[in-house]
């Protein structure tokens, strides 16, 4: 990661697309190499978690409107969406009774 004195113009950022990634980190303009996928060789713990995450991400269509309303009512001053809370609660072992179990 390289700190920049300022963000470059949009046409410069566009010309380095998929080569360099320009963004702000804690209010500081920075640049890094374009992120790359590690491919199929991933840590076994990451692979196990991705299957669980895939499952829970598919569940909002199966939730009752009352439960979705309850998730919406959770106060959030951290910028999380109701789906972020749902995933967090599920991974921490809460609210499992309200979800359809995996097949």
Contacts 24+ apart (CB under 8 A), 49-54: 52/91, 53/87
pLDDT, residue 100, reads 45
pLDDT, residue 97, reads 42
Residues above pLDDT 70, as percent of the chain: 86
Residues above pLDDT 90, as percent of the chain: 26
> Domain-by-domain residue ranges, the chain?
2-33, 60-95
* Residue 95 φ/ψ region, left for φ over 0, alpha for ψ in the -120 to 50 degree band, beta for the rest: left
pLDDT, residue 96, reads 45
Q: Which H or E run includes 91?
A: helix 82-91
* Residues of the chain where predicted confidence (pLDDT) is lower than 50: 95-103
């Amino acid at each position: 990661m390289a700190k920049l004195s300022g963000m470059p113009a949009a046409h410069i950022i566009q010309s380095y697309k998929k080569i360099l990634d320009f963004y702000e980190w804690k209010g500081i303009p920075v640049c890094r190499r374009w992120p790359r996928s590690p491919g199929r060789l991933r840590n076994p713990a990451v692979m196990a978690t991705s299957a669980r995450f895939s499952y829970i991400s598919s569940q909002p269509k199966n939730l009752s409107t009352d439960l979705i309303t309850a998730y919406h009512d959770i106060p959030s001053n951290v910028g999380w969406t109701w789906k972020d809370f749902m995933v967090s609660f599920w991974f921490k072992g809460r609210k499992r009774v309200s979800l359809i179990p995996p097949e």
